[in-house]
């Protein structure tokens, strides 16, 4: 039956991802059409067409490789300023002669690619499309159209996170209380933590004091206790001194006397360095923090900072994945994964016997939300061919035209993003290589759920 659940988890993940991609493209298409632009194609996937249907001027369909999607908006690239790819004075009357001169003129590799891209754009422009071209839109319309896709992904992430945080809680935000959940029966060295007590092990100060699970500690040696971190601080500072513990049990305030002992313990979860500190032998009750929309926005703000930092180091981390593939180092469980890795984790979560159904649903929702957050932020990177590259071009156009108006200079015209196509080709090639490395890594040295 676990194989069935595994398959269900993978299918749910990829269906959710395809829906997210489809809505991303709707985020581009809807405002483009509202602003009068012409959208000729709306496809989910890449490669050979599996199915398509014409609706009005737009062809809708599915392609064979479900790793993305696209919409084709007419007039994304402006023509060369002189209307040709060679100086106007160098053109003759014969089309064959002009084609040869164009080839001779565009001697550079990238220059030729730019010329080809402009030509491809011109082929899609009909006689009635002059006022419907994307590059002629106002800058704020361009920003709206190109931001629409990643904003949809961020909206999906928000609603998924908000739903989980408001009902189940944020599994990454575990809070503690001052109520005791467990009293350790004996003092066990930290290196042997988890083993059974032996007759040689001394009782913990908390056991000697008679503390029980459910007691809420309100004071330690007369110091009021308002948080578990505050209690830890005063216990650690007490060394092996006398300790008077005030606590509430079944509504009644009680006091117990004991002496804390000194043990070598780490001071935080992030630092395993052992330090000699006072030790009592109690563990706190914990709960998962819940919150509404404002809490969700705050958490997504922190996630966004982490995502930006991850994007900056992405090439380096993908390099480590490549080293892991050839066996030169271990795969970082906190490193980047592809959609293949995401599907594997979703399948393992669904098939695991360690999680109840509610936690499986929550974990799958968090995976899907996390992917949407990453996709949204990634597409805002201000480089072509990503959406952020077109947004940056529109903002540059607005600044340049605004500066020209302020200084009384002539209108400089539309921003020619076609000149950035060499950057787009390099970025696209890099993304392709990194994507292939991650997919191979997720097949050869996959990241798995902790056992």
Provide the pairing of β-strand 223-224 with 216-220.
Answer: antiparallel
- Give pLDDT, residue 104: 47
pLDDT at position 5 is: 85
Q: What is the 3-state secondary structure (H, E, C) of 117-161?
A: HHHHHHHHCCCCCCCCCHHHCCHHHHHHHHHHHHHHHHHHHHHHH
Q: What is the mean pLDDT of residues 155-180?
A: 94
Assess whether pLDDT exceeds 80 at residue 80.
no
| Out of 97-106, 142-151, 340-349, least confident range | 97-106
Residue 89 has pLDDT above 70, yes or no: no
* Alpha carbons 352 and 360: distance in angstroms, whole number: 9
Distance CA 438, CA 2 (A): 26
* Coil, helix or strand at residue 175: strand
The pLDDT value recorded for residue 334 is 85
As a whole number of angstroms, the distance between CA 75 and CA 43 comes to: 18
pLDDT of residue 303: 93
d(CA 104, CA 124) in angstroms, rounded, equals 25
Quick: pLDDT tens for 315-351: 999 999 999 999 889 998 888 989 889 999 999 888 8
Q: For residue 101, is pLDDT > 70?
A: no
Confidence class for position 96, pLDDT limits 50, 70, 90 = low
- Whether residue 25 lies in the annotated active site: yes
Helix, strand, or coil (residue 392): helix
At 49 the pLDDT is: 92
Cβ atoms of 101 and 85 closer than 8 Å: no
The answer on pLDDT for 82 being more than 70 is no
Better-scored residue on pLDDT, 99 or 54: 54
pLDDT for res 42: 95
Domains of the chain are 1-38+125-169+291-451 (no CATH), 172-289 (2.30.42.10)
pLDDT in tens, 376-424: 999 999 998 899 999 999 999 999 999 999 999 998 888 888 888 888 8
pTM: 0.83
Structure tokens at 283: 């563990």
- Say if residue 248's pLDDT is above 80: yes
Round the average pLDDT of the chain to a whole number and report it: 87
Residue-by-residue DSSP string for 197-220: P-TTSPBPHHHHHT--TT-EEEEE
């Amino acid at each position: 039956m676990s194989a069935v659940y595994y398959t269900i988890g993978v299918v749910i993940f990829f269906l959710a991802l395809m829906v997210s991609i489809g809505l991303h493209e709707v985020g581009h298409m809807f405002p483009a059409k509202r602003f009068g632009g012409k959208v000729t194609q709306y496809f989910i996937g890449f490669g050979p067409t599996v199915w398509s249907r014409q609706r009005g001027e737009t062809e809708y369909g599915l392609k064979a490789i479900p790793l993305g999607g696209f919409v084709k908006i007419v007039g994304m690239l402006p023509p060369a300023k002189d209307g040709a790819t060679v100086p106007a004075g160098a053109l003759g009357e014969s089309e064959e002669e002009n084609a040869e001169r164009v080839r001779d003129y565009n001697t550079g590799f990238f220059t030729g690619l730019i010329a080809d891209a402009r030509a491809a754009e011109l082929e899609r422009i009909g006689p009635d499309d002059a006022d419907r071209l994307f590059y002629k839109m106002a800058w704020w319309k361009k920003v709206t159209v190109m931001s629409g896709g990643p904003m949809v992904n961020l909206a999906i992430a928000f609603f998924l996170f908000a739903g989980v945080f408001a009902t189940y809680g944020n599994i990454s935000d575990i809070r503690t209380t001052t109520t005791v959940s467990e009293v350790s029966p004996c003092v066990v060295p930290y290196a042997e933590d988890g083993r059974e007590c032996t007759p040689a092990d001394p009782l913990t100060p908390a056991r000697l004091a008679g503390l029980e699970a459910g007691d809420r500690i309100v004071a330690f040696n007369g110091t009021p206790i308002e948080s578990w971190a505050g209690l830890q601080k005063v216990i650690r500072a007490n060394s092996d001194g006398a300790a008077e513990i005030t606590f509430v049990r079944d509504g009644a305030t009680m006091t117990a006397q004991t002496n804390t002992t000194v043990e070598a313990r780490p001071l935080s979860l992030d630092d395993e360095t052992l330090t000699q500190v006072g030790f009592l032998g109690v563990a706190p009750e914990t709960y998962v923090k819940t919150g509404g929309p404002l809490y969700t926005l705050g958490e997504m703000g922190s996630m966004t900072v982490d995502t930006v930092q991850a994007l900056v180091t992405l090439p380096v981390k993908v390099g480590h994945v490549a080293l892991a593939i050839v066996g030169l180092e271990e795969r970082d469980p906190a490193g980047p994964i592809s959609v293949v890795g995401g599907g594997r984790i979703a399948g393992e979560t669904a098939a695991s016997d360690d999680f109840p159904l509610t936690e499986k649903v929550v974990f799958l929702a968090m995976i899907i939300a996390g992917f949407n957050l990453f996709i949204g932020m990634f597409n805002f990177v201000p480089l072509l061919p990503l959406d952020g590259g077109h947004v940056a071009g529109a903002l540059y156009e607005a600044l340049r035209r605004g500066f020209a108006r302020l200084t009384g200079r002539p209108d400089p015209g539309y921003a020619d993003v076609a000149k950035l196509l060499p950057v787009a080709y390099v970025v696209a090639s890099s993304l392709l290589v990194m994507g292939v490395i991650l997919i191979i890594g997720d097949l050869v040295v996959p990241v798995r759920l902790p056992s």
